[in-house]
Structure 1
Amino acid sequence: MKKIMLLLADGFEAIEASVFTDVLGWNQLEGDGTTELVTVGLHEKLTCTWNFTVLPQYTLNEVNLEEFDALAIPGGFEEAGFYRDAYDMRFLDVIRHFNDKNKMIAAICVGSLPLGKSGILEGRKATTYNHPTSQRQSQLAGFGAIVINDPIVIDDNIITSYNPSTAFNVAFTLLEKLTSPENCQKVKELMGFTDIIKIVHK
């Protein structure tokens, strides 16, 4: 069984967290059954970017990092306080621990910025939020990352992506890395991601 920590900062974007819960949850029940996702936060109650509250299963001080095989981090909004948690030393120490053990780390959108802040992206390829009006890619470069303006960038054990539209693909990429391409394809098919949805206007 592969145990994945979904590390949530206050102000995280719900959609970017939910792709991990759904994809890995579908795998647990309908795929090869080898993944278990655990939600963890710095606080007992978190508020998402769009103002509803979430209760993580555990706070960080209640878990043993050695028990986990991979780390997933959704992004969030500065206006919602995301970086207060995401740049907290406790949060950054978790990232460093997983990288030191060469365990998979998957981050969506600005979820890659705490990776950069932790120091693990120095000299490594990565990406983050890419809209032309945003300075997030420049900020990532300021942490020493080699910024690639691609939807998903993989550098060894680290997966990063550049906006919320990539979220499901990040979760599927993590699933593939933790299980197999064949199993990932099976879960995609069960979830309908091989279908072309045709919208008919009447």
Structure 2
Amino acid sequence: MKKVLLLLADGFEAVEASVFTDVLGWNKWEGDGSTEVVTVGLREKLTCTWNFTVVPEKTIDEILLEEYDALAIPGGFEEAGFYDDAFSEPFLNVIRYFHEKQKPIASICVASLTLGKSGILEGRNATTYNHPTSIRKEQLKNFGANVKDERIVRDGHIITSSNPGTAFDVAFVLLEMLTSKENVNHVKDHMGFV
């Protein structure tokens, strides 16, 4: 079984987290059965953007990182306090661990800024929220990333994306990294994507 750590910051977007639980959950029941998602946060109760409340299965201090095979991080809103957790050292240290071990790291939208803040995107290709009115691409560039104007950027074991609309695609890329293209197509078929 491949365990995926779904790392949640207060203020995360629920839809960006749910794609990981759904795609990897569908794989568990309808695909090759090899994936399990564990939701983890800094605190016992999290409030999403727009006040949806979530209780993660575990807190960071209750887990052993070596038990996990991949990391997934949804983005969130500054106005909802996302960066308070996402830029904290305990959160960033989880990212650094997965990078050091070269395990898959999948981020959606502004979650790439957490990767940048952790230092793992220095000199790497990445993207982030790309609306023309947003300053996020400039922020990512300031973290040393080579910012690409693409929907999804994969650089080795790291996946970044440009907006919430890419969420399902990111989850499928992560599933392919953990299993196979044939298995992803099987899961997509069952979920009605093909």
Specify the TM-score bucket, using the shorter chain as the normaliser.
over 0.9
Deviations 1:101-151 (A, max 9, x none): 000000000010000000000000000000000000000000000000100
2:9 paired residue number: 9
Number of residue pairs matched?
Answer: 194
1:109 paired residue number: 109
**1-side partners of 2:52 and 2:130: how far apart?**
26
**1-side partners of 2:39 and 2:180: how far apart?**
23
**1-side partners of 2:50 and 2:176: how far apart?**
30
Displacement after TM superposition at 1:164 (Å): 0.4
Displacement after TM superposition at 1:52 (Å): 1.4
The structure with more radius of gyration: 1
Structure 1 alignment gaps of length 5 or more: 195-202
Displacement after TM superposition at 1:166 (Å): 0.3
1:23 paired residue number: 23
Displacement after TM superposition at 1:50 (Å): 1.2
Q: 1:146 aligned to 2:183?
A: no
Q: How does 1:81-160 map to 2 (within 5 A)?
A: 81-160=81-160
> Structure 1 vs Structure 2: percent identity of aligned residues?
71
4+ long deviations beyond 3 Å = none
1:47 paired residue number: 47
TM-score under structure 2 length normalisation: 1.00
| CA-atom RMSD in angstroms | 0.3
Q: How does 1:163-178 map to 2 (within 5 A)?
A: 163-178=163-178
Structure 2 alignment gaps of length 5 or more: none
Deviations 1:13-47 (A, max 9, x none): 00000000000000001100000000000000000
Counterpart residue type for residue 123 of structure 1? G
**2-side partners of 1:109 and 1:182: how far apart?**
26
